[in-house]
Amino acid sequence: MRGVAPVSAPASTAEPRPSIAASSGNAGYSQILPQGVSRFRASYNSGMTEASDNVDRFFDRYAAALLARDAKAIAGMYAVPSLILFPGQSVPVTDAGQTEAFFASSWGQYEGVDSVEKRIDIMAVAPGFVWADVTWTFAGELRERFCYQLAEKAGGYQIAVLTPLA
């Protein structure tokens, strides 16, 4: 099951970062995507369609928050507690402030990034959970690939476990 969606920041002469319409609630961003967002979605098995659509929307919001450099919105997309697994290191996240501080200090690695393309492969679905293999491409260059274990919460999915794949 595959979905590929390029996400572009809207052109702006006033500021270099896109303006995103915020919404109240845990989702962080409304279902309205920034101007210039396009998406391609491959077909899914009928039993996976709802989960796939929800995962697509979740990562559309995640990409929009990344492009907006909105550390607080991204932090709201991580469950507390959650777990970040890197080779040789496990990082338990016990407070949303940890995630917000991490992203706030990491914007340098996204210097010049004003669009993102994502490829989502749903690995598995279980009641309350989805495992997604997501490849992120910035400026035509493959930059990140992670397995996201998403947990279903009242406001939608949140990242419960993050594991690098490449």
pLDDT digits (tens, 9 = 90+) for 59-79: 999 999 999 999 999 999 999
pLDDT in tens, 135-166: 999 888 899 999 999 999 988 999 999 999 97
Assign 2 a pLDDT band (cuts: 50, 70, 90). Answer: very low
- Tell me what pLDDT residue 92 has: 97
pLDDT tens digits along 11-49: 433 333 332 222 223 333 333 444 333 333 333 444 567
C-alpha dihedral, 66 to 70 to 75 to 78, nearest 10°: -30
3-state secondary structure of 72: helix
- Tell me what the mean pLDDT of segment 52-59 comes to: 94
Q: Which residue type occupies 53?
A: D
Give the number of other CB atoms < 10 A from CB of residue 107: 13
The residue that leads in pLDDT, 25 or 83, is 83
The pLDDT value recorded for residue 48 is 64
Q: What is the rounded average pLDDT for all residues in the chain?
A: 78
Top-confidence residue, 4 or 54: 54
Residue (of 2, 3, 8) closest to 140 by Cα position: 8
Which domains does the chain possess? 2-164 (3.10.450.50)
> pLDDT per residue over 117-131, tens digit each?
999 999 999 999 999
pTM to 2 decimals?
Answer: 0.72
Using the structure block, give the residue that is written with the tokens 């995103």: 20
Helix (H, G, I), strand (E, B) or coil at 126: strand
Cβ atoms of 23 and 144 within 8 Å: the answer is no
pLDDT at 134 over 80: yes
Could you list the beta-strand ranges (E) of the chain. Answer: 2-8, 40-41, 78-86, 89-93, 115-126, 129-138, 141-153, 156-164
